[in-house]
């Protein structure tokens, strides 16, 4: 073990925790004009509506009230301390819309809904004046998130349209929030779809692709377009295209809450995919239309830095942007009862902000789940050592990052030039072992990349996600001469590797039923033809569905697959040496007080030949192989000679009796 490096990282972790504890609730820098009170741009009562806007560089601000598209009233706002502007309009204005217009350097900017609009008109150019109590579904005040053990967590990533748009989903509201809230939906073959399918599979956390209002779909004709939603426009109101009535600003809020409650009632936690690292075209967003040049990182020539690859990158290190992110996330937890967040291009955000987010959200929900992409599309315009890159994950306790290490090891890199372990390609053993250990320091792992996790719970283990080819299309491209039987064995082995690793397992929607995107890689704006799941696949590939379902159940039955700490991983996980370049095995041992089994043997053979493994001598219960999962075990295996043969392209799990 590289003990000096481990000690150094432990010291760094302690320092990081100390930094969090010393962080002020509202971080400030000299010269910044930041209000201490929470941001609340519109406050409604039947007697009056109060408007506030942070615009410290403005010379004048007006708020305009609209009845539909008709301007009814224009009110000059008064400058207050800390860069705030304020106006109060008497009378019951519920049902009207509002927009701010800011004047800077003698120029009146375009109207904007502000930066914290919580209800919107169609396409989100104006805010809506509503009574939020009217958006709560029945028994909303009784809604509670399910209690889920950390060792049981299984994340399932999905897009509303993917899960419900195909006719085979059998839902009443295809492509909508309410479509995913429906219970009792069935395919033509009579199999559970949508929400019932998630419950049936045994996943615990449902990762919803971007749900905050985004600018890439014309909400006035939502059914004709598709988008993943990574072009945020208004961060604090739901996207209208997923609502049954885009013209009703209350509907999208009520229907998203209805979905959250339905998932909670079904025992599922809800994770939102959030995209604070960039916005849609900056010139059309509230940030630039209230305080030009502040919320983004700007180059010396006045152009937008572009670490996101989407035209701009936000500046989380600036006190108001940091305050904004924290309060926005708190709002989603308080108003919508959200249980976790996945951060798109998390490495664009600074570590101090991410640690503050974790601290503040844990105060609201100690079980909050936080994870993100530990990379950026290009180099951000900020000190790299202060940013939330994957390699610094150990400096962000309680926050996880996606592991491209185990992903690439199992299935190959993004460019499709070569496969990985499941294709029988040698050279992936150490990266796979690194992933199996949950990205922590381990004396038997010699991966080229340094350990980046302080705990295995910081390691998101996955083989595919929405972004890139899905697994079936990758397999068919890289192994064009393989039979379908061989391809399905490879798919099973890939899932096997994910669910037996010490990290948090993550699965992309439909992979358990061998979905296809017709060979397309980046389907972010392609029609339902490429993205919608055909639920007849659940019947056609029922064997794969049951295999993944079994892996999830097996993981829950055996906490040893989620030991939780780096020390426990080093104490209880030992790798089995094997000369085959595409074979990996390990033993989970001395499990008294941790697991019902005292020893678990896990073996993976990605090669195209049978491989003999040396295992501890003893009598075992057979739990898994390349064909099926037997959660309670079936039959016995006598390893009195300390040997076992594992078939090509398969995995085996044994429990010592």
Structure tokens, 177: 């929030």
Q: Is 579 known to be catalytic?
A: no
Residue 612: Cβ within 10 Å count: 14
Tell whether the torsion through CA atoms of 600, 605, 610 and 615 is positive or negative. Answer: negative
Per DSSP bridges, beta strands 504-508 and 155-158 are parallel
Q: Is 373 known to be catalytic?
A: yes
Structure tokens, 523: 């389907």
Of 644, 504, 475, 495, give the one whose Cα is nearest residue 564.
504
401 vs 371: CA distance, rounded Å: 5
| Count helices and strands in the chain by DSSP H and E runs | 16, 27
490 vs 475: CA distance, rounded Å: 8
Q: Could you tell me if 377 and 310 are in contact, meaning their C-beta atoms sit under 8 angstroms apart?
A: yes
Structure tokens, 152: 């049981």
Per DSSP bridges, beta strands 600-605 and 650-656 are antiparallel
67 vs 62: CA distance, rounded Å: 17
Q: Could you tell me if 23 and 352 are in contact, meaning their C-beta atoms sit under 8 angstroms apart?
A: yes
537 vs 181: CA distance, rounded Å: 22
Structure tokens, 519: 């060979």
Point out the catalytic residue in the list 213, 317, 344, 405: 344
310 vs 195: CA distance, rounded Å: 33
> Left if phi > 0, otherwise alpha if psi is -120 to 50, otherwise beta: which for 590?
left
Of 82, 75, 118, give the one whose Cα is nearest residue 291.
82
Of 602, 600, 643, 606, give the one whose Cα is nearest residue 625.
602
Structure tokens, 411: 């299935």
Point out the catalytic residue in the list 213, 219, 373, 473: 373
Of 53, 232, 237, 224, give the one whose Cα is nearest residue 128.
237
Of 256, 264, 260, 250, give the one whose Cα is nearest residue 135.
250
Tell me which H or E stretch contains 569. helix 566-572
Annotated catalytic residues are: 344, 373
């Amino acid at each position: 073990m590289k003990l000096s490096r481990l000690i150094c990282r432990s010291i760094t972790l302690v320092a990081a925790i100390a930094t969090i504890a010393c962080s002020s609730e509202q971080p400030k820098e000299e010269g910044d004009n930041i209000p201490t009170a929470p941001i609340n741009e519109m406050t409604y009562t039947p007697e009056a509506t109060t408007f506030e806007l942070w615009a410290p560089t403005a010379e004048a601000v007006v708020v305009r009230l609209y009845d539909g598209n008709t301007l009814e009233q224009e009110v000059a706002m008064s400058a207050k301390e800390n860069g705030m502007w304020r106006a109060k309009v008497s009378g019951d204005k519920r049902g009207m819309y509002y927009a701010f217009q800011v004047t800077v350097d003698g120029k009146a900017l375009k109207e904007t809904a502000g930066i914290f609009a919580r209800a919107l008109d169609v396409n989100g150019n104006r805010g809506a004046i509503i009574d939020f109590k009217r958006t709560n579904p029945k028994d909303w005040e009784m809604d509670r998130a399910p209690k889920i053990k950390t060792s049981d967590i299984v994340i399932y990533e999905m897009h509303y349209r993917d899960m419900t748009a195909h006719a085979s989903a059998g839902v009443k509201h295809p492509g909508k929030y309410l479509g995913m809230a429906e219970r009792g939906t069935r395919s033509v073959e009579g199999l559970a779809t949508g929400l019932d399918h998630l419950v049936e599979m045994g996943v615990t956390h449902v990762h919803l692709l971007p749900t905050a209002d985004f600018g890439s779909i014309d909400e006035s004709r939502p059914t004709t377009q598709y988008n993943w939603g990574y072009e945020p426009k208004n961060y604090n109101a739901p996207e209208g295209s997923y609502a049954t009535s885009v013209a009703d600003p209350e509907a999208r809020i009520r229907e998203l809450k209805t979905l959250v409650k339905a998932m909670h009632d079904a025992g599922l936690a809800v994770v939102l995919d959030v995209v604070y690292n960039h916005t849609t075209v900056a010139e059309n967003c509230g940030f630039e239309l209230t305080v030009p040049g502040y919320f983004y990182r700007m180059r010396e020539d006045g152009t937008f830095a572009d670490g996101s690859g989407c035209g701009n990158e936000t500046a989380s290190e600036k006190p108001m942007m940091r305050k904004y992110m924290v309060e926005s996330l708190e709002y989603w937890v308080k108003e919508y009862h959200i249980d976790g967040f996945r951060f798109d291009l998390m490495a664009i955000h600074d570590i101090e902000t991410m640690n503050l987010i974790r601290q503040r959200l844990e105060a609201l929900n100690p079980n909050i789940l936080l994870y993100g992409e530990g990379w950026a599309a290009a180099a951000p315009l900020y000190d790299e050592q202060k940013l939330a890159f994957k390699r610094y994950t150990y400096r962000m306790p309680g926050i996880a990052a996606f592991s491209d290490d185990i992903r690439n090891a199992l299935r190959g890199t993004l460019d499709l030039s070569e496969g990985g372990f499941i294709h029988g390609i040698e050279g992936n053993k150490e990266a796979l072992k690194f992933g199996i250990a949950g990205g922590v320091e381990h004396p038997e792992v010699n991966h080229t990349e340094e350990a980046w996790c302080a705990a295995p719970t910081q390691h998101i283990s996955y083989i595919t996600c929405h972004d890139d080819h899905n697994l079936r299309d990758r397999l068919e491209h890289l192994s064009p001469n393989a039979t379908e039987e061989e391809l399905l064995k490879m798919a099973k082995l890939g899932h096997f590797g994910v669910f037996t690793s010490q990290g948090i397992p993550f699965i992309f929607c439909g992979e358990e039923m061998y979905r296809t995107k017709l060979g397309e890689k980046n389907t972010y704006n392609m029609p339902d033809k490429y993205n919608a799941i055909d639920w007849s696949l659940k019947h056609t590939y029922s064997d794969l569905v049951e295999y993944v379902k079994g892996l999830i159940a097996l993981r829950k039955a055996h906490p040893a697959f989620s030991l939780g700490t780096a020390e426990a991983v080093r104490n209880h996980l030992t790798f089995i040496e094997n000369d085959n370049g595409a074979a990996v095995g390990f033993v989970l041992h001395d499990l008294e007080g941790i697991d019902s089994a005292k020893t678990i043997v896990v073996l993976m053979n990605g090669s195209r030949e049978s491989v003999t493994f040396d295992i501890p001598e003893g009598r075992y219960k057979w739990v898994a192989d390349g064909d099926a999962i037997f959660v309670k075990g079936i039959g016995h295996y006598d390893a009195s000679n300390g040997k076992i043969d594992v078939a090509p392209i398969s995995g085996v799990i044994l429990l010592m009796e």
